[in-house]
Structure 1
Amino acid sequence: MNPFTERVLKTIRSIPPGGVMTYGQVAREAGNPRAARQVARILHSMSQKHHLPWHRVINAKGEIAIKDDETALEQQLELEDEGVVVINKKVNLQDFQWRI
């Protein structure tokens, strides 16, 4: 596994319940601010294997970015179970964004 991927996994694992980070924020924390799409690919391919809290990563607008309605609803319910308020698939980043 390359160092960037390892740092992405570590960053995602650091997001506490009730907090969210954006794909770009995870990329910046992992050392490559231009790699938000790579973060999305890592989440897609490694979340299950590495037991990542994938539901805590959202887009820069605070929105659930997953196109599949069933998976988007799963993400919303996971966030709400942790106390994150989701309205119309959107999270208020001022209230819930986690900063390392």
Structure 2
Amino acid sequence: MNLTDEAKSFYYSVYSVVSQIPYGSATSYGHIAYLVGKPKNSRQVGSAMKNYFMILPALLASGNAEDNDAGFQNIMDIPWWRVVGSSGKISPRSDSNGEILQQQRLVEEGTLQQGTIVDLDEFGWFPDEVDID
């Protein structure tokens, strides 16, 4: 996968922010977009999360994230399941296994009580800013 410098910067920023979402919390695609300075790009954040199994290895292989302080060096370090839609709903996927896995992980962390909607008033993580290295 060939990534432009702009794409690398965006993806690195998104994954850096997502890696900071605390255990037992969740946030929205839109808030991630806001935190990375691209408030109108929530769909691109969604795409970054949907495709991170392909994007992250390419990003790490490019050398841009080798010395990162975000703490992720492999795919499993990114808590992707903590990112949901603005209503708190788990986003549908073409592969229902991803939805089921996200639901299971949110239940394990106590942020999902029933169904597919996280109560963002109770479990939401919405800082005004974060460090993006």
TM-score by length of 2: 0.68
Identity %: 29
Max radius of gyration: which structure?
2
**SS at 2:51 equivalent:** helix
User: Which residue is 2:26 aligned to?
Assistant: 20
**SS at 1:16 equivalent:** coil
Tell me which protein shows more helix as a share of its residues: 1
Q: Is residue 23–residue 60 contact of structure 1 (8 Å, CA) maintained in 2? A: yes
**SS at 1:90 equivalent:** coil
Q: What residue ranges of structure 2 are gaps of 5+ in the alignment? A: 58-74, 128-133
User: Which residue is 2:89 aligned to?
Assistant: 63
Tell me which protein shows more strand as a share of its residues: 1
**SS at 1:88 equivalent:** coil
Deviating above 4 A after TM superposition, structure 1's stretches of 4 or more consecutive aligned residues are: none
Write the letter of the residue equivalent to 2:12.
E
Q: Is residue 58–residue 65 contact of structure 1 (8 Å, CA) maintained in 2? A: yes
User: Which residue is 1:88 aligned to?
Assistant: 115
Q: Greater relative contact order (Cα 8 A, min sep 6): structure 1 or 2?
A: 2
Matched length: 100
Query: How many angstroms does 1:7 deviate by?
Result: 1.3
Query: How many angstroms does 1:43 deviate by?
Result: 1.0
Q: Deviations over 1:9-68 (max 9, x none)?
A: 111000011000100000000110010111011112224743311100000011001234
RMSD (Å), alpha carbons: 1.7
